[in-house]
Amino acid sequence: MKKQITVVGAVLLENGKILATKRNDDRILGTLWEFPGGKIEVGETPERALIREMMEEFDDQIIVGEKVATGVHEYDFGIVNLTAYYAKFVTHNFDLIAHSKVEWITQEQIKNLKWADADQTIAYALETADLAKVKFNELN
Protein backbone atom coordinates (compact mmCIF):
# COMPACT_ATOMS: atom_id res chain seq x y z
CA MET A 1 0.00 0.00 0.00
CA LYS A 2 1.38 3.32 -1.00
CA LYS A 3 1.39 6.28 1.33
CA GLN A 4 -1.47 8.78 0.81
CA ILE A 5 -0.18 12.36 0.83
CA THR A 6 -2.74 15.14 1.22
CA VAL A 7 -1.50 18.38 -0.25
CA VAL A 8 -2.97 21.84 -0.74
CA GLY A 9 -1.88 24.29 -3.41
CA ALA A 10 -2.62 27.98 -3.86
CA VAL A 11 -3.71 29.41 -7.19
CA LEU A 12 -2.67 32.96 -6.39
CA LEU A 13 -4.38 35.58 -8.52
CA GLU A 14 -3.24 39.12 -9.20
CA ASN A 15 -4.16 41.45 -12.08
CA GLY A 16 -5.78 38.57 -13.93
CA LYS A 17 -2.62 36.46 -13.75
CA ILE A 18 -1.81 33.21 -11.94
CA LEU A 19 1.34 32.48 -9.94
CA ALA A 20 3.23 29.44 -11.21
CA THR A 21 6.18 28.28 -9.14
CA LYS A 22 9.13 25.97 -9.39
CA ARG A 23 10.48 24.57 -6.18
CA ASN A 24 14.18 24.65 -5.34
CA ASP A 25 16.02 22.12 -7.51
CA ASP A 26 17.17 19.99 -4.59
CA ARG A 27 13.56 19.26 -3.61
CA ILE A 28 11.31 16.56 -5.01
CA LEU A 29 9.81 17.37 -8.49
CA GLY A 30 12.22 20.33 -8.65
CA THR A 31 12.16 20.68 -12.42
CA LEU A 32 8.38 20.92 -12.82
CA TRP A 33 5.95 23.77 -12.36
CA GLU A 34 3.43 23.58 -9.54
CA PHE A 35 1.32 25.70 -7.23
CA PRO A 36 2.88 26.81 -3.97
CA GLY A 37 1.69 24.82 -0.99
CA GLY A 38 2.45 21.64 0.89
CA LYS A 39 1.18 18.83 3.05
CA ILE A 40 -1.76 19.33 5.38
CA GLU A 41 -0.70 18.72 8.97
CA VAL A 42 -2.75 16.82 11.54
CA GLY A 43 -5.70 18.88 12.78
CA GLU A 44 -5.40 21.53 10.08
CA THR A 45 -8.13 22.58 7.68
CA PRO A 46 -6.98 22.93 4.07
CA GLU A 47 -7.40 26.71 4.36
CA ARG A 48 -5.24 26.96 7.50
CA ALA A 49 -2.61 24.74 5.88
CA LEU A 50 -2.44 27.06 2.87
CA ILE A 51 -2.17 30.14 5.05
CA ARG A 52 0.68 28.51 7.01
CA GLU A 53 2.48 27.36 3.87
CA MET A 54 2.34 30.78 2.21
CA MET A 55 3.79 32.31 5.36
CA GLU A 56 6.59 29.69 5.34
CA GLU A 57 7.31 29.93 1.62
CA PHE A 58 6.88 33.67 0.90
CA ASP A 59 6.54 35.30 4.33
CA ASP A 60 3.18 36.56 3.15
CA GLN A 61 -0.39 36.60 4.36
CA ILE A 62 -3.08 35.44 1.98
CA ILE A 63 -6.85 35.24 1.72
CA VAL A 64 -8.17 31.88 0.58
CA GLY A 65 -11.04 31.62 -1.88
CA GLU A 66 -13.01 28.91 -3.63
CA LYS A 67 -11.71 25.46 -4.45
CA VAL A 68 -10.37 25.10 -8.01
CA ALA A 69 -10.11 21.31 -8.42
CA THR A 70 -8.46 18.19 -7.02
CA GLY A 71 -5.83 16.14 -8.79
CA VAL A 72 -4.55 12.71 -7.82
CA HIS A 73 -1.35 11.08 -8.98
CA GLU A 74 0.56 8.00 -7.93
CA TYR A 75 4.26 8.82 -7.78
CA ASP A 76 6.88 6.27 -6.74
CA PHE A 77 7.06 7.96 -3.31
CA GLY A 78 3.29 7.87 -2.67
CA ILE A 79 -0.14 8.94 -3.88
CA VAL A 80 -0.53 12.70 -3.88
CA ASN A 81 -4.05 14.11 -3.48
CA LEU A 82 -3.67 17.75 -4.38
CA THR A 83 -6.50 20.22 -3.87
CA ALA A 84 -6.01 23.72 -5.17
CA TYR A 85 -7.76 26.82 -3.85
CA TYR A 86 -7.80 30.30 -5.29
CA ALA A 87 -5.98 32.78 -3.10
CA LYS A 88 -4.67 36.31 -3.13
CA PHE A 89 -1.82 38.03 -1.36
CA VAL A 90 -2.63 40.49 1.42
CA THR A 91 1.04 41.36 2.02
CA HIS A 92 3.78 41.48 -0.62
CA ASN A 93 7.06 40.45 0.94
CA PHE A 94 7.28 37.72 -1.70
CA ASP A 95 10.47 36.21 -0.27
CA LEU A 96 11.46 33.16 -2.32
CA ILE A 97 12.25 30.84 0.55
CA ALA A 98 11.28 27.53 -1.06
CA HIS A 99 11.24 28.40 -4.76
CA SER A 100 13.87 28.76 -7.44
CA LYS A 101 11.53 30.41 -9.90
CA VAL A 102 8.14 32.09 -9.87
CA GLU A 103 6.18 33.54 -12.74
CA TRP A 104 2.88 35.38 -13.11
CA ILE A 105 1.29 33.76 -16.14
CA THR A 106 -1.84 34.32 -18.19
CA GLN A 107 -4.45 31.62 -18.66
CA GLU A 108 -3.20 31.16 -22.23
CA GLN A 109 0.30 30.36 -20.94
CA ILE A 110 -0.84 27.53 -18.63
CA LYS A 111 -0.61 24.88 -21.34
CA ASN A 112 2.95 25.92 -22.26
CA LEU A 113 4.40 24.92 -18.89
CA LYS A 114 5.39 21.42 -17.80
CA TRP A 115 3.32 20.85 -14.67
CA ALA A 116 3.79 18.18 -12.00
CA ASP A 117 1.59 15.18 -12.72
CA ALA A 118 -0.86 15.78 -9.86
CA ASP A 119 -1.45 19.30 -11.22
CA GLN A 120 -2.81 18.36 -14.63
CA THR A 121 -6.54 18.51 -13.86
CA ILE A 122 -6.08 21.76 -11.98
CA ALA A 123 -4.11 23.37 -14.79
CA TYR A 124 -6.75 22.23 -17.27
CA ALA A 125 -9.61 23.64 -15.16
CA LEU A 126 -7.78 26.96 -14.94
CA GLU A 127 -7.44 27.33 -18.69
CA THR A 128 -11.15 27.99 -19.06
CA ALA A 129 -12.04 29.38 -15.60
CA ASP A 130 -13.62 32.82 -15.32
CA LEU A 131 -11.07 34.38 -12.99
CA ALA A 132 -13.00 37.64 -12.67
CA LYS A 133 -15.81 35.75 -10.91
CA VAL A 134 -13.71 34.00 -8.26
CA LYS A 135 -15.04 34.55 -4.73
CA PHE A 136 -12.87 35.06 -1.67
CA ASN A 137 -13.87 34.58 1.92
CA GLU A 138 -12.62 37.78 3.51
CA LEU A 139 -13.06 36.27 6.97
CA ASN A 140 -10.39 33.57 6.94
User: Which chain residues interact with ligand 8DG by CB under 6 A?
Assistant: 5, 7, 9, 28-29, 34-35, 37-39, 80, 82, 116, 118-119
Which residues on neighbouring strands pair with residue 13, listed in sequence order?
Answer: 18
Q: Which is nearer to ligand 8DG, 20 or 139 (CB)?
A: 20
Q: Which is nearer to ligand 8DG, 97 or 138 (CB)?
A: 97
Q: How far is the CB of 91 from ligand 8DG (least distance, A)?
A: 20
Minimum CB distance to ligand 8DG, residue 131 (Å): 18
Instruction: Yes or no: say if 84 and 67 are a contact pair by the CB < 8 Å rule.
Output: yes
Which uninterrupted H or E stretch holds 116? Answer: none
For residue 70, list its beta bridge partners. 83
Report the amino acid identity of residue 51. Answer: I
